Copies of this chain bind each other. A is one copy, B any other.
């Protein structure tokens, strides 16, 4: 009796299975499966009956069962470093858009810049038989684990160094070179560069570009002009303040990303420095606020959304079976001239 109550009493709404749909339509699960999936022979009339039954019962196929039987779930993983940063949000939006159009869902993991958390995410993706994974790497371990298990991986924005996976990046060196060349052409000779990592990833390449621009212009480099805040700095604005105090001869600042640019901008405002008269500023990465502030920030715009889309497309091809060698797409940044740069000691020529 008690047993009956627990077993027979279908508490809540039980899940509608394919078997029930088949029963309702007076046929077998096999046929129903074929009808609904659209593979193999099914008579037109029967197919319609099955579809009607499915609709009537509110049938929703079970992806767990499907992906257990088949090779993989339709899930695609994405690992980013900080979702609250507009950069990664835009990236995720581009990825989601492309995946959704192809009928895939996106599982989003925020690793907060930690390799360990990225690895946890990768393990979770493996466990859910993700069809593929996109990631902005913070180390090699996550990529390695996934590639080892045969999951297609596309790296975005940065490269972990694992050769066997596709990647989509933005030409950081070129963007930085253009930005710094612009400052040099304006006559700046003591250009500070502020970044949050110099060893690998985009920071390294942007630093390269900074140096290349100097070399090309025949302007000597001074190590003291490069400020490395370190990853996830506790008080970036304070560090910038100390740096500017120690290097009062700086006439222009090149900020390597939007976080750094914000710290620089706020600090210049705090100390009442006139931009660009007292100090020119260029940012790598162009966010909403940079075109809203007065003067607008001269910036290197990155096609972030497009990067997400491109990476997702590459991944979809791999998922579809593309087997060729690893490909790397490099997207071109765009230099956007606004009011925050001028010749040293000169107010902005234009107020757009």
Q: CB within 8 Å of B: which residues of A?
A: 12-13, 15, 58, 60-65, 67-68, 73, 75, 82-84, 86, 89-90, 92-93, 96-97, 100, 105-110, 117, 123-124, 126-129, 148-150, 262, 265-266, 269, 287-289, 292-294, 305
Chain B contacts of A68 at CB under 8 A? Answer: 62, 64-65, 68
Sample (5) of A-B pairs whose CB atoms are under 8 Å apart: A63-B64, A64-B67, A86-B86, A106-B109, A269-B294
Given contacts A100-B109, A105-B107, contact A129 B64 (CB under 8 A): yes
Closest 6 CB pairs of A and B: A289-B289, A89-B89, A83-B93, A64-B68, A12-B150, A64-B67
Q: How far is the CA of A13 from the CA of B145 in the complex (A)?
A: 12
Given contacts A288-B289, A292-B293, contact A110 B127 (CB under 8 A): no
Additional 16 contacts, C-beta under 8 A, given A84-B93, A89-B92, A106-B109: A13-B149, A15-B149, A60-B123, A62-B127, A63-B129, A64-B64, A64-B129, A68-B68, A83-B93, A84-B86, A92-B108, A105-B109, A107-B108, A269-B292, A287-B289, A289-B293
Chain B contacts of A92 at CB under 8 A? Answer: 83, 89, 108
Which of A67, A97, A287 neighbours the largest number of chain B CB atoms within 10 Å of its CB?
A67
Chain B, Cβ-Cβ closest to A14: B150
Q: Is the CB of B292 within 8 A of A61?
A: no
Our pick among B63, B97, B287 for the contact of A127 (Cβ within 8 Å) is: B63
Q: Is the CB of B100 within 8 A of A89?
A: no
Q: Is the CB of B149 within 8 A of A305?
A: no
Q: Is the CB of B128 within 8 A of A84?
A: no
Q: Is the CB of B262 within 8 A of A288?
A: yes
Q: How far is the CA of A287 from the CA of B89 in the complex (A)?
A: 14
Chain B contacts of A105 at CB under 8 A? Answer: 107, 109, 124, 128
Chain B contacts of A82 at CB under 8 A? Answer: 93
Our pick among B62, B83, B106, B109 for the contact of A89 (Cβ within 8 Å) is: B83
Q: How far is the CA of A6 from the CA of B93 in the complex (A)?
A: 39
Our pick among B128, B148, B288 for the contact of A13 (Cβ within 8 Å) is: B148
Chain B, Cβ-Cβ closest to A265: B292
Q: Is the CB of A128 within 8 A of B73?
A: yes
Given contacts A60-B127, A262-B292, contact A83 B107 (CB under 8 A): no
Chain B contacts of A109 at CB under 8 A? Answer: 96, 100, 105-106
Chain B contacts of A84 at CB under 8 A? Answer: 86, 89-90, 93, 305
Chain B contacts of A108 at CB under 8 A? Answer: 92, 96, 106-108
Given contacts A13-B149, A83-B89, A129-B62, contact A292 B266 (CB under 8 A): yes
Chain B contacts of A67 at CB under 8 A? Answer: 64
Chain B, Cβ-Cβ closest to A76: B107
Our pick among B73, B123, B288, B294 for the contact of A64 (Cβ within 8 Å) is: B73
A275 to chain B, nearest CB (A): 11
Chain B contacts of A117 at CB under 8 A? Answer: 100
A75 to chain B, nearest CB (A): 7
Chain B contacts of A123 at CB under 8 A? Answer: 60
Q: Is the CB of B63 within 8 A of A107?
A: no
Q: Is the CB of B60 within 8 A of A126?
A: yes
Q: Is the CB of A13 within 8 A of B86?
A: no
Q: How far is the CA of A266 from the CA of B288 in the complex (A)?
A: 11
